[in-house]
Amino acid sequence: MDEFKQNKRWFDEECLGFLDQRKRAKIQWIQVPSQSNVDNLNKVRSDVSRHFRNKKKAYLRAKIEELVTNNTIQNIRDLYRATVTLRMGTSLDVI
């Protein structure tokens, strides 16, 4: 879990809680495969996916805002560094 968390800077403790919730729903469905457990699992999966999507979107918005700020104050070194890391698909905080 730590490796996953290090590669995705937007991933926090709240996200870990959502992952645990999804895991519990799946285990419950596996143990008792009823229609209500299937519906619960699908609902939990969609909630978790929505949360992750929104969290990642907010993180990227903040990083883009940081790039805009670096561009307006002519901080070219940080702007270039962040642009390269975005293009490579790695986290901006790594370099």
Residue 59 belongs to what H/E stretch? helix 35-72
pTM: 0.70
Q: Count CA within 13 A, CB hemisphere, residue 87.
A: 6
Instruction: With CA atoms as reference, report the closest residue to 66 among 89, 49, 44, 83.
Output: 83
Q: Residue 25: exposed, middle, or buried by beta-carbon count in 10 A (0-12, 13-18, 19+)?
A: buried
Spans of all domains in the chain: 2-88
* pLDDT, tens digit (0-9, with 9 covering 90-100), for 12-25: 889 999 999 999 99
Q: Which has more pLDDT, 44 or 80? A: 44
Per-residue CA distances from 25 to 4, 18, 43 (Å): 21, 11, 10
* pLDDT, tens digit (0-9, with 9 covering 90-100), for 32-41: 999 999 999 9
Q: Which residues have C-beta within 8 Å of that of residue 78, sequence separation ≥ 6?
A: 70
Q: Which has more pLDDT, 1 or 62? A: 62
pLDDT of residue 92: 47
